[in-house]
A and B are shown apart, each in its own frame.
Chain A
Amino acid sequence: MQDIENNMDDLFRKAASDYPLKTGESRWDEIAAAMTKVSSTPGMKTMGRKKYLALILLLFFGLLLGGIIIWDNVIINEAKEINEQEVKNQAVDIPSENNTLTQHNNPISGEVQKISGSGQIKQQDIFLKNEKIDNKNILTNKADGNQKDILLVTESNGSIISHDLPEKIAKENQDDRELKTPFNENNIDLGKNLLVNPDVSLEKTGEPEKSIEEKQITDSNKKNQQPNSKGFYFGIAAGPVFSEVNGQGLRKGGYDGGLLTGYQFNNNLSVETGVLFSKRYYFSDGKYFHTNKMPPGMDVISLEGSSSVFEIPLKVRYNILTHKKAQVYTSAGISSSILVNEKNDYLLRVNGSPQKMYSNYKNNYGYIGSTIDISIGYERKISRYSAVRIEPYLKIPLRGVGIGTMQVMSTGLHFAVTRQSR
């Protein structure tokens, strides 16, 4: 049966080669006209396409970066607005016989209380300062000229020792003690008015409390340091990729991009993973291509191809240099990959004759631990929770991949934007 089939196949092959078909008249003019039209139309299959793609990627990153910065600023401004609203809500008029004092508090930033007034005070801004000295709370005013008057002195339980406040208000304060917030929360009642200075809190531990000014200095110092960055972060990364097989050199660049996420244990150490889609181009001499998956009788002379791969890296990152807003880090880990598509242009020798062949393989092959990844990177904060990084890397193959089980080494550059979860 096989012989009959083979004989029939041979017969049809000869027929296909030598059957008498009229060629017809030459239509070269039509082809020449079509060629002229093709050459005058700028094609997408030129370097312009790659530049177009690069521009799109750049625009995307720029918009993303801008979005993150704007978002962060919106959040901060909203917080400020809330603070100011709270301040306004706490702004009260302190009536007195001769002047009206308006106080403004900023319970969040810890600004010194500020009172602006008119009348005898004559529009002069007066700053209140609440101190604890020898277990007594002393409220003083500190005018712009550093003048300092003691306005109110109270025991730690709230009872007034002395005061220089309008008498009426002081009395109200005394009478309504049980309705007022106690002094150990640093609220000084002025009748229905409240002076709030939550930054100056009286701890029952007995430790000397910090003054508002001291607290301001401490907070400022904290802001200049790296914030505690423990926690999860996520981001996106993309960049060019260059691949080679067995040290045969690089030819055409590819690209990759995807999502990454990680967990930061402390300011220096973190673990990172993600999913990246990679398009790689390579070429190789046939001797590095294993033909056990190819039809018998095929000898690969050389090939040029591309592959589409999903990569899942897992790496440890360590900061080797840290500054307020930037750090230099190094990372090492392993990537696993899923090869989703492979296209190869072969130059073959079949039965002694050279032949070109194109093949497109669309099966999904998984390779656990396909490469060792090492990189060094520079990361810079662009806002409180966001950062950008640039990271050159190298992927060293641990095993062969693809239809030819080739050892493909890749190098490239990642540009990434990351954001910490709050």
Chain B
Amino acid sequence: MENITHILKGCIVGDHKYQKIIYEQYRGYALKTVFRYIYRYEKAQDIVNDSFVKLFSNFSKFKLVSEVDNEMLFMGWFRRILINSAIDELRRGSMLPEIGGIPDSVWEIADDNQDAYQRLLYKDLVILIRKLPPAYRIVFNLYVIDGYSHSEIADRINIPVGTSKSNLARARVYLQESLKKMEESKLCRI
């Protein structure tokens, strides 16, 4: 694996070879980020593709800093592109709740090892996030997972700061109740 700074430099000058390396290395991360926002798997994949096109089209604006910080800077910038694309897509759909289940084919088959249980738990938790109404889902993802402040969320999705806070509170209540039910159902099975 080449040095990340070298790869990023290649992307800055528009070298397709390095762009492909970035794509292959980060498409999993990109899909996981977008899938937290977008309900449909196929739609999430389309948004990931669009985000990569935006990324590579604007790579000339990316400024390299230091060997240590470059990857972190790049990931922060790319994540912002992914989130913005996902939110724009949700707003195009007028933030209406989606219907239908999530097919099992989108999930990786858990290996039979120590971490398997944990990953299954994580899968269930992400499913809980995805089941939130879009308005709550966006705020929860932005605030808790992606580290935005309420004022930034309010600016980004054009809602009052108070609405952002109340949506987050409601999302938490919903998730806590869902977690309780999940725990109870597991105890029942035992």
Contacts and interface: CB of A to CB of B under 8 A. Distances in A.
A248 B159 CA distance: 36
B145 interface: yes
A228 interface: no
Interface string A288-311: 000000010000000000000000
Interface string A1-16: 0001100110111111
A8 B72 contact: no
Contacts of B118: 18
B7 to A, nearest CB: 15
A200 to B, nearest CB: 76
Interface stretch (A53-61, A215-223, A348-356, A376-384): A348-356
A20 B172 contact: no
B133 to A, nearest CB: 17
Nearest to A304: B63
Contact of B155 (A23, A295, A355, A359): A359
B181 to A, nearest CB: 15
B110 A15 contact: no
A75 interface: no
B31 A23 contact: yes
Contact of B27 (A19, A20, A26): A26
B125 interface: yes
B149 A295 contact: yes
A16 B49 contact: no
B14 to A, nearest CB: 8
B98 to A, nearest CB: 17
B108 A21 contact: yes
Contacts of B155: 359-362
Given A27-B45, A31-B23, A361-B155, A16 B65 contact: no
A24 interface: yes
A8 B31 contact: no
B121 A15 contact: yes
Given A12-B145, A15-B126, A354-B69, A24 B179 contact: no
Interface string B138-180: 0011001101010010011000000000000000100110010
Contacts, number: 116
Given A28-B20, A354-B69, A356-B77, A8 B122 contact: no
Contact of B119 (A11, A19, A356): A19
B79 to A, nearest CB: 9
A357 interface: yes
A202 interface: no
Interface in A343-390: 347, 350, 353-362
B76 A355 contact: yes
Interface string A380-403: 000000000000000000000000
A347 B53 contact: no
A175 to B, nearest CB: 90
Interface stretch (A32-40, A62-70, A99-107, A118-126): A32-40
B35 interface: yes
Given A12-B145, A295-B149, A360-B155, A20 B110 contact: yes
B43 interface: no
A224 to B, nearest CB: 59
Contacts of B140: 12
Given A16-B32, A353-B72, A8 B119 contact: no
B65 A27 contact: no
B85 interface: no
Interface string B28-52: 1001100110000000010001001
Given A8-B179, A27-B45, A13 B144 contact: yes
B183 to A, nearest CB: 12
Given A8-B175, A354-B72, A358-B80, A20 B49 contact: no
B116 to A, nearest CB: 9
B91 interface: no
Contacts of A9: 144
A351 to B, nearest CB: 10
A30 interface: yes
A344 B17 CA distance: 32
A12 B125 contact: yes
Contact of B49 (A17, A34, A39, A362): A34
A155 B27 CA distance: 110
A359 B152 contact: yes
Interface in A260-310: 295
Contacts of B36: 16
Contact of A20 (B108, B144, B175): B108
A22 interface: yes
Identify the 3 closest CB pairs spanning chains A and B, nearest first. Answer: A20-B108, A15-B125, A15-B122
Given A26-B23, A31-B52, 7 more contacts: A9-B144, A14-B122, A19-B126, A22-B108, A31-B23, A347-B65, A354-B72
15 contacts: A8-B172, A15-B121, A15-B123, A19-B119, A19-B122, A20-B122, A21-B108, A22-B105, A22-B106, A23-B27, A32-B16, A39-B14, A347-B65, A354-B73, A356-B73
